[in-house]
Chains A and B, each alone.
Chain A
Amino acid sequence: MSMLRRLKMTMGAALAVSLASTLAVHADEQFFPLQSYRVGPYAAGGTGFFGGFIDYLNLVNIRDGGINGVKLTWDEGETQYEVERGIEVYERLKSHPGIAAWNPLSVGIAYAMIDRITKDRVPLITINHGRTDSTDGRVFPYVFPLLLNPYSETSGIVNYIASREGGPDKLKGKKIVVLYHGSPYGKETIPIYKLLADKYAFSLEQIEVPHPGNEQQSQWLSIRRAKPDYVVLRGWGVMNPVALKTAQKVGFPADHIIGNVWSNSEEDVIPAGDAAKGYVAITTQASGSEYPVLQEVIKTVYGANKGNLEDKKRIGSVYHNLGIVNGILNVEAVRIAQAKFGKRTLTGDEVRWGFEHLQLDPARVEALGAKGLFHSINVTWDNHEGDGRVTFQQWDGSKWKVVSDWIAPDWAFLRPIIERSSTAYAKEHGIKVRTSGDDPVSQ
């Protein structure tokens, strides 16, 4: 009885709060609609990323009182990583006033949103993932695959292997196997690896692992027979630990397996136990909590008991730090846009302008407390990726350790390929290609 009453009271209070919040005037608030996923097969990544993102927004609110006095707000809608649930959340939250940008962290949801956000004139951020040709801001004015698109990732990995072998010319005659997830995501880089193999004259074999990848005996036996120098793991979810375990089973050394950006988290290696020791993976942001911005998050946000992660041990994990970096990039884009348009709630189009001028050099990154966490970004109106540098980390059995410099992918080599694809898209969809940043954006 008392339990029921307490529940009723809580519900009443909650209702009052939510009513008050809807009635409140949305003066100077910038809103982030979050299509998060905290349930289902990818929940571990979702809680980490959205946890980090929310932690950073909280930090800005608590420490600075928002961005120049404009408070940051957000609302979460659960997607379970399913496209139609992501769309449902989009339709539900899109009429909220003052939306800054959408950050789904799901390739499928992002794709389904491109037409919608372009029509609604709000930026769509796909940090480290998403559609490669959306790098071309001339065709995709509202889409931002910040820091790293799949092609740059490919080039970054090959450059890293070259540096381990002692220079690009040493790649000649080497053998690389790419083990990819049997999905559109996995297949996306097949042509790029081929191009790079031709360019550097290494021999290449690409092997598919059918979804979900919980059984890889035959693939690794083929790898054993092929005797490659390196295996690139372009994995997803459970495929990653199983790959590492099966590699051990056929006696392939872990330190010659290079993981891509979706195979680089703690969740990918912990289940593999000892088999993951020595495994190397690409990343755009280092892990660990020693960076000043992370320390501030711990002190200010978790100190005030407003931290989003349930398990504090996950602070500084790969996905959490990606969320933090994503927070920094979103907040700085808003700040840059505010400098032009005024310190108030901005429209989606104004925030887009901010993203198109999101230029953070290493000095600015250091000022933000993120030196070493990520390198720099240089987004322009026609380059929506922003030339993110990558680094490589090695799993020592309990944590990731950075083992390389900040490596630059071969952007000049990739740009024409991207433009070919984006102009084809523009043609197919009747989009007018922008010729300068001041061009009005066509619908």
Chain B
Amino acid sequence: MAALASTQSRRVSAETLGIGIAIVAAYGVVPLAGSDYLLDAVLTPFLALALAAVGLNVLTGYAGQVSLGSAAFLAVGAYAAYNLHLRIPGLPLLVDLVLAGSIAAAVGIVFGLPSLRLRGFYLAVSTLAAQFFVQWALTKFGWFSNDNASGVIDAPPLSIAGVSFTNPVERYVFSLTVVVVLSLVTLRLLRSQSGRNFVAVRDHEIAAKVIGVPILRTKLLAFGISSFLIGVAGVLWAFAYLRTVEPAGFNLDRSFQILFIIIIGGLASLRGSFVGAAFIVVFPLLLSRVGAALLGSVFDSGVLEMSQRILIGVLIIAFLIAEPRGLIALWDRTWARTWAAVWPAKHPTIPT
């Protein structure tokens, strides 16, 4: 038992170390080494989607409530931030960010109300109401896009206390900071009583009720926090990445994309959200570049693109079959094995 505890604490410290190294690298190395293309077209969307995935993971991975409406909350965040900036002159960007997240959280709580009665796919499909309603409302009422004839909003330049973030490196650092801070806060929260309540509700709702977990509060809190994070991710998506967005960009496919990230990466694992986002964002790009470079002269680009889509679909299925707990579980297993190979004596074998 003592040995188990010690490996566990070693695991935890190794994990902390890993996170530390990743953060240092993300700040220290990437901005210097990355090209504009890498920063602007790969890493910034990766960060935004990873944050959205962290948000959905709180709801689905930890609290066990499946949502198919994530893109709606991305949109709420983006449009809320835009309108706040537009209508309240001199509003500092950080306040704007937090307020936009809070509005998304409020909308999330409203659409989370059915979760008090519904389970499983009934709840999942009912979150589609959010998906379609928000998209409809943003298109329908010109006020949201400041009466732009095309419903498109242009993001204002990012600046905090006189420091502006205008080039790809600065936008990347801005997004990175937001994502790192919010992820760490989320991590902290998940390790508190609320986090334990989430898991209790997920694992057995009635049992949780019996031991005195406030079901109503816990579920709505999960919806609120999740939507807050996704809303802020929406602001990053709109302000730091695309800088011009339209409601159509927040469609059902985007919701599925975020759901894919957490399932492929690993439910109930924040690291998994990042790994999953990397897979979903980077892998198709990589595949299409490699495919075009190697086979571009042999096949028509349409054929190539469709083959890639098949390959991505097959890989998703293959991953789910190989490791239903996600890439992060795969990673941890490999890691543990390497660890055991390096220090075989110290590592107690736990029968599985």
Partners in one complex: yes
Contacts of B249 in A (CB 8 A): 83-84, 108
- Per the bound structure, the CA–CA distance linking A18 and B294 in Å amounts to 9
A114 interfacial by beta-carbon distance below 8 Å: yes
Whether the Cβ atoms of B294 and A14 lie closer than 8 Å is: yes
Chain B residue at smallest Cβ distance from A17: B297
B154 interfacial by beta-carbon distance below 8 Å: yes
A187 interfacial by beta-carbon distance below 8 Å: yes
Known interface pairs A108-B248, A111-B244, A115-B244. Does A14 touch B302 (Cβ–Cβ under 8 Å)?
A: no
Known interface pairs A11-B294, A183-B248. Does A38 touch B302 (Cβ–Cβ under 8 Å)?
A: yes
Whether the Cβ atoms of B298 and A78 lie closer than 8 Å is: no
- Per the bound structure, the CA–CA distance linking A133 and B42 in Å amounts to 31
Q: Which of A86-94, A287-295, A371-379, A402-410 contacts B (4 or more CB under 8 A)?
A: A86-94
Whether the Cβ atoms of B293 and A115 lie closer than 8 Å is: no
A229 interfacial by beta-carbon distance below 8 Å: no
Which residue, A17, A91, A421, has most C-beta atoms of chain B within 10 A?
A: A91
Whether the Cβ atoms of B151 and A10 lie closer than 8 Å is: no
A15 interfacial by beta-carbon distance below 8 Å: yes
Which residue, B298, B300, B301, has most C-beta atoms of chain A within 10 A?
A: B301
Smallest CB separation, A208 vs chain B (Å):
8
Smallest CB separation, A173 vs chain B (Å):
29
Whether the Cβ atoms of A92 and B37 lie closer than 8 Å is: yes
Contacts of B285 in A (CB 8 A): 88
B152 interfacial by beta-carbon distance below 8 Å: yes
Contacts of A396 in B (CB 8 A): none
Residue of A10, A39, A95, A107 touching B309 (CB-CB under 8 A): A39
Smallest CB separation, A343 vs chain B (Å):
30
Q: How many residues of B contact A (CB 8 A)?
A: 38
Bin the interface of chain A by size. 35 or more
- Per the bound structure, the CA–CA distance linking A112 and B294 in Å amounts to 30
Whether the Cβ atoms of B296 and A184 lie closer than 8 Å is: no
Contacts of B41 in A (CB 8 A): 87-88, 90-92
Whether the Cβ atoms of B37 and A91 lie closer than 8 Å is: yes
Whether the Cβ atoms of A188 and B149 lie closer than 8 Å is: yes
Contacts of A80 in B (CB 8 A): 305
Whether the Cβ atoms of A421 and B149 lie closer than 8 Å is: yes
- Per the bound structure, the CA–CA distance linking A108 and B298 in Å amounts to 31
Whether the Cβ atoms of B246 and A111 lie closer than 8 Å is: yes
Known interface pairs A92-B41, A115-B154. Does A184 touch B295 (Cβ–Cβ under 8 Å)?
A: no
Whether the Cβ atoms of A84 and B247 lie closer than 8 Å is: no
Q: Within residues 54 to 76 of chain A, which ones have a CB less than 8 A from any CB in chain B?
A: 76
Smallest CB separation, A116 vs chain B (Å):
8
B322 interfacial by beta-carbon distance below 8 Å: no
Contacts of B152 in A (CB 8 A): 111, 184
Q: Within residues 14 to 42 of chain B, which ones have a CB less than 8 A from any CB in chain A?
A: 36-37, 40-42
B121 interfacial by beta-carbon distance below 8 Å: no
Contacts of A43 in B (CB 8 A): 302
Q: Within residues 262 to 316 of chain B, which ones have a CB less than 8 A from any CB in chain A?
A: 285, 288, 293-298, 300-302, 305-306, 309
- Per the bound structure, the CA–CA distance linking A211 and B149 in Å amounts to 18
Whether the Cβ atoms of A15 and B294 lie closer than 8 Å is: yes
Known interface pairs A39-B302, A184-B247, A187-B139. Does A112 touch B297 (Cβ–Cβ under 8 Å)?
A: no
Chain B residue at smallest Cβ distance from A107: B150
B119 interfacial by beta-carbon distance below 8 Å: no
- Per the bound structure, the CA–CA distance linking A92 and B36 in Å amounts to 9
Contacts of A438 in B (CB 8 A): none
Residue of B150, B246, B297, B301 touching A36 (CB-CB under 8 A): B301
Contacts of B149 in A (CB 8 A): 132-133, 184, 187-188, 191, 421
Chain B residue at smallest Cβ distance from A38: B302
Known interface pairs A92-B41, A111-B152. Does A184 touch B248 (Cβ–Cβ under 8 Å)?
A: yes
Chain B residue at smallest Cβ distance from A43: B302
Whether the Cβ atoms of B295 and A14 lie closer than 8 Å is: yes
Whether the Cβ atoms of A47 and B302 lie closer than 8 Å is: yes
A131 interfacial by beta-carbon distance below 8 Å: yes
Q: Within residues 140 to 167 of chain B, which ones have a CB less than 8 A from any CB in chain A?
A: 145, 148-152, 154
Whether the Cβ atoms of B293 and A18 lie closer than 8 Å is: yes
Smallest CB separation, B340 vs chain A (Å):
36
Could you write out 9 A-B pairs with CB less than 8 Å apart?
A: A10-B297, A14-B296, A83-B249, A87-B242, A108-B249, A182-B136, A210-B136, A310-B300, A429-B154
Known: A11-B295, A14-B298. 14 other contacts (CB 8 A): A10-B295, A14-B295, A39-B306, A83-B242, A88-B41, A91-B37, A91-B41, A111-B244, A112-B243, A131-B150, A182-B139, A184-B151, A184-B246, A187-B139
